[in-house]
Amino acid sequence: MIGRTARFLLLCCMASAIHVGCGEPIPETWVARQGSVVFGVWDCPSPKIAKALLTQWLALPAPDRQTSAPVRDDTFLFSLLPADDRIQDWRTVGERQYLRPHELTAFLRRPSVEYEAFGVRGLVTAEYANVRLGPKPLLRVEVYDMGTPANAFGLYSQKRIPGGMFVPTGGGAFIGETELLSWSDRYYVFIRIYEFSDDTRDGMRAFASTITGMIGGVRDEPEWTTRYATIPSLVLHSERWFANTAQAQVSTKDPSLLVMPLDDDVEGFVSRLRIDDTRTSEAFCILFPTVPAAEDAYAALESALASLGGNEPEALSKMGDEGFRVRTNAASPAEEGSDGHQP
């Protein structure tokens, strides 16, 4: 017979072992489909947070598709580099350059995968000096022709500067200490200053404002993205837009997303869902061209997650037209960092 004291100590030891063995909650992936839209949250350690996001998304109106403006002639691209003194005291140094897509890797000094995925057609670039500060170049402007507003916004959404300041220039802009990126219509604009000062920082903003002002055209993000990506639990401006498999591949941190057939008729984004002050999970929202296409994608994802993790998905009632959750036995995606833009 085990005495009462010994039995109590044994139970305490068992409870302690269970507590240590459990550690963090096992992450779960939650997925739902409503009509032609598939929603999900990857590897979320909080079922309550995952369920709340999907419930909010499902309550929103069905999204509309993004439409693209007509493509303009490439000769317009060079005119977007401001002429000397168009911006007071700033003048070009050296030759203006036009680069074709196959020349981007050498110019960027790294693979141009993101630019290629979003359909880059060409780039014009020039360096500028401030006549009050001397003859050497202090600032470089790059204007990329991405073919359509959706592609320009898509690339911009990939490149936003973590910790940068958002300003309403063009379709939107992010400013870091020495970099500014923006988009307007079918063009993505990147500006770098070589030496930080009030003059160069003011010049960077003046160039962005002038260039996006010359472009005009489409400046609105996809309407349904602005509704779906602004849920309070999502990290603001963390969404990454995509419209095909190649774009999704550079957008997501979870390769399971690519199990779904993401052909050229889809539109979607991934975003960071806030778990607490230090952790996020990745959430996704994808609009398929038809309900059957969404049903097939949902089924493919459910089957893949079940086979990969070895866990049986659990059906979710009252979660859109269909829904499931499954233990994924994976850590929550790490906080996003900057991939950098090499000079």
Beta bridge partners of 145: 122, 187
111 and 189, same structural domain? yes
- Report residue 267 as tokens: 């539109």
Same domain, 87 and 194: yes
Residue 256 has pLDDT above 80, yes or no: yes
Of 188, 215, 242, which one is at a domain's C-terminal end? 215
CA distance 132 to 328: 60
Question: Looking at the predicted structure, is the pLDDT value of residue 17 above 70?
Answer: no
Count CB neighbours of 309 within 10 A. Answer: 16
Structural domain includes residue 2: no
Which of residues 215, 230, 246 is at a domain's end? 215
Categorize the per-residue pLDDT at 303 as very low, low, confident or very high, splitting at 50, 70 and 90: very high
Is 92 part of a structural domain of the chain? yes
**207, 230: one domain:** no
168 and 117 within one domain: yes
Q: Are residues 122 and 171 in the same domain?
A: yes
* In a shared domain, residues 163 and 57: no
What pLDDT score does 86 carry?
93
Decide if pLDDT at 2 tops 70. no
Verify that 268 and 159 share a domain, yes or no.
no
H-run or E-run covering 145: strand 139-145
Closest CA to 75 of 122, 127, 134, 141: 122
Classify residue 245: in a domain, yes or no. Answer: yes
Nearest to 222 by CA among 273, 171, 289, 280: 171
Residue 121 pLDDT greater than 60, yes or no = yes
> Across all residues in the chain, what is the average pLDDT?
86
If asked whether residues 206 and 227 sit together in one domain, one would say: no
Distance separating alpha carbons of residues 297 and 279, to the nearest angstrom: 28
Whether 46 and 166 map to the same domain: the answer is no
Sheet arrangement for strand 37-44: 240-242, 267-274, 280-287, 37-44, 28-34, 322-327, 314-315
Average of pLDDT values for 285-309?
Answer: 92
pLDDT of residue 10: 40
Q: What is the count of structural domains for the chain?
A: 2
Given a cut of 90, whether residue 159 has pLDDT beyond it is: yes
pLDDT band at 299 (very low <50, low <70, confident <90, very high): very high
CATH number of residue 117's parent domain: 3.40.1000
pLDDT score for 333? 41
Give a yes or no: residue 102 inside a domain.
yes
Q: Which residue has the higher pLDDT, 99 or 221?
A: 99
Question: Which residues, at least 6 apart from 57, have a Cβ–Cβ distance to it below 8 Å?
Answer: 32, 39, 228, 231, 285
Strands 179-184 and 173-175: antiparallel
How does pLDDT run across 175-207, given as a tens digit for each residue?
999 999 999 999 999 999 999 999 999 999 999
Which residue type sits at 183?
W
Q: 310, 305, 306, 251: which is closest to 283 by C-alpha?
A: 251
Same domain, 129 and 182: yes
> Span 54-59, mean pLDDT?
95
19 within some domain: no
For 309-343, how does the pLDDT look when each residue is reduced to its tens digit (9 = 90+)? 668 899 998 899 999 999 976 543 444 443 334 43
Pairwise pLDDT comparison (11 vs 97), residue with the higher score: 97
Q: Please check the confidence at residue 69 and state whether its pLDDT lies above 70.
A: no
Structural domain ending residue among the three candidates 215, 231, 264: 215
In a domain? residue 249: yes
Same domain, 264 and 281: yes
Distance CA 115, CA 341 (A): 12
**Residue 5 lies inside a defined structural domain of this protein:** no
More confident residue, 221 or 114: 114
pLDDT at 25 exceeding the cut of 90? no
pLDDT in tens, 281-293: 999 999 999 999 9
Q: Confirm whether 254 is domain-assigned.
A: yes
Task: Report the first-to-last Cα separation within the chain, whole angstroms.
Answer: 76
Supply the range of the domain harboring residue 177.
Answer: 75-215
Question: Higher model confidence: residue 219 or residue 14?
Answer: 219
137, 204: one domain: yes
CA angle (274, 297, 283) in 5-degree steps: 5
